[in-house]
Amino acid sequence: MATTLDQIDLATRAFWAQTPDEIDAAFTVLRRENPVPWSGPAESDLLPPELNTQGFWSLTKYDDIRFASRHPDVFSSAEGITMETFDPLMTQAAQSFIAMDDPRHAELRGITMEAFKPANMKRMGDWVRGHARDLIDEMAPLGEGDFVELVSKQLPGRIFGSFFGLPAGEVHDRTIDAAQRLLSWSDPAATKGKTGLEHFVEAVMELHEIAALLTDQRRAEPGDDLMTWVIQAEFEGQRMDDDEIAAFFVLLAVAANDTTRHASAHAINVFAQHPVQKALLIEDIDGRVEGAVEEVLRWASPLLHMRRTATQDVTIGDAEIKAGDKVVLWYCSGNRDEDAFPDPFSFDILRPKNRHVAFGGGGPHYCLGAALARTMLRSLLSEVYTRIPDITGEPEWLALNFINGIERMPCTWTPPR
């Protein structure tokens, strides 16, 4: 039965518990019939019911998402970046400068860009490639297993551990566990009887404790790692204070361990479903892997949305958005927009001019880690489809409204001889 407009409610958990195909079908209807819909308050326990009263507008079209992304004076990030509203203290503690506007956003981003200078980026790229190779060395002989457990969780965790110089053992394991728990506040299976807020706060506080420990250690004994680089980085004579360092640690822990975790699982799943495209990749991995990475990112949209808040009245399409209204940018819909991508429901690694919005629609909040995420996916695809090209599996999806998540994916493959 075809999805109809009156059946679509982006604010409910039931909507996000649907299959990916059902969600895609709903956004197709919205793009065609009501591209800037209004929703009531998100079904959420991050705030008490009496405070959770604000609905939101949704941008489902590619051009509208890019417009909002490139006009931060009209669409502010400072009130939060998820459709669900957090307490302001939690927003500051967990979302770092992505939940800020200029001038402080520009200052903090400038400091982090100094830490991400070319020499450091090259070193991180070498770490990524080495970890991808080592991990496939370990899992390839097994012949079967849950790809999420064997690779998707392990690779980002190892990379992040190298980035921040996490000591092996308890500190490393606590960090990765907290990072991978943090964004699952809307999944009842993950919260295990706690409220979404309790679940979120516990993970944030654990990451802040670890960040404080690492900050003290690196000030006393600087290392060759991102934590040291961030502590030492300056922009126009300014450095981050300890709270800002901790918030940045949380932000990067989540970005490195959750979005990239799910992107890697999506990549294996989509190639298993599209054997012709997999054959094209295997035929010329070096020449086609970059196009494959871009198409995986467009197809899977690991980050489903970001939110902004209107600073002034603005009209988009037929929607009269008022100052103070929440506006949600649905990247997953923009990447399927028929007006932006020819044949958007075809997976095509040779797609020309693949200007997807998986990392945002441009502007000052474009993802800082985009280059590293691409490096991770490029390294992983190269290793997998050189070594165990017949890998296939069946995903089990997470019911989340922020991350496009795969919980488990039991796979089989032929071990290399």
List beta partners, residue 75.
Answer: 310
Higher pLDDT, 289 or 5: 289
Q: DSSP assignment, residue 34?
A: -
- Mean pLDDT is highest, among 42-46, 72-76, 218-222, for 72-76
User: Which of these ranges, 123-127, 184-188, 242-246, has the smallest mean pLDDT?
Assistant: 184-188
Report whether pLDDT(416) > 60: yes
- Say whether pLDDT at 45 is over 60: yes
* pLDDT tens, position by position, 401-411: 998 989 999 99
d(CA 220, CA 198): 34
Summarised one tens digit per residue, pLDDT across range 91-144 is 766 667 677 888 888 877 877 777 667 777 777 788 888 999 999 999 999 999
> CA 317, CA 329: separation in Å to the nearest integer?
14
- What angle is formed at CA 98 by the lines to CA 70 and CA 339, rounded to 5 degrees? 35
Report pLDDT digits (tens) over 375-399.
899 999 999 999 999 999 999 998 8
First to last CA, the chain: 48
What is the secondary structure of 60-90 as a DSSP string? -SHHHHHHHHT-TTTEESTT-SSSSPPPHHH
Q: CA of 130: how far to CAs of 127, 135, 155, in Å?
A: 5, 9, 10
Examine residue 132 and state whether it is found in any structural domain, yes or no: yes
Q: Is residue 378 part of a domain?
A: yes
Query: 7 versus 256: which is more confidently predicted?
Result: 7
Torsions phi, psi of 164, nearest 5?
A: -100, 5
Predicted local confidence at residue 115, as pLDDT: 66
Q: Percent of the chain, pLDDT > 90?
A: 57
Question: Is 417 within a domain?
Answer: no
d(CA 372, CA 124) in angstroms, rounded, equals: 8
- Does residue 185 lie within any of the structural domains? yes
Report, as an integer, the average pLDDT of 289-318: 96
| DSSP codes joined into one string, 283-301 | HTHHHHHHHHHHHHHHHH-
| Main-chain phi, psi angles of 236, to 5 degrees | 55, 45
pLDDT band at 294 (very low <50, low <70, confident <90, very high): very high
Token pair of 44, please? 């959420």
- Residue 338 falls within a domain, yes or no? yes
Angle between helices 260-273 and 285-300 (to 10 degrees): 110
Handedness of CA 31, 34, 38, 44 (dihedral sign): negative
Arithmetic mean of pLDDT over the chain: 90
Residue % of the chain over a pLDDT of 70: 97
> What is the per-residue pLDDT across 60-100, written as a single tens digit (0 to 9) for each?
999 999 999 999 999 999 998 999 887 777 776 666 767 78
What pLDDT was estimated at residue 285? 97
Q: Which of 200-204, 280-284, 359-363 has the highest mean pLDDT?
A: 280-284
DSSP state of 148: I
Q: Report pTM.
A: 0.91
pLDDT, one tens digit per residue, over 5-19 is 888 999 999 999 999
Confidence of residue 191 (pLDDT cuts 50, 70, 90): confident
Query: In this model, does residue 2 exceed pLDDT 70?
Result: no
Residue 194 lies inside a defined structural domain of this protein: yes
Domain that holds residue 64: 5-412
Kindly indicate the confidence band of residue 1, based on its pLDDT and cuts at 50, 70 and 90.
low
Q: Evaluate whether residue 182 is within a structural domain.
A: yes
CATH of the domain at 320: 1.10.630.10
Whether residue 173 is predicted with pLDDT greater than 90 in this model: the reply is no
Residue that has been written with the tokens 């934590």 in this structure: 227
Hey, how many other C-beta atoms are within 10 angstroms of the C-beta on 83?
26
Q: Total domain count for the chain?
A: 1
In a domain, 11, yes or no: yes
Query: Which tokens is 219 given?
Result: 């000030």
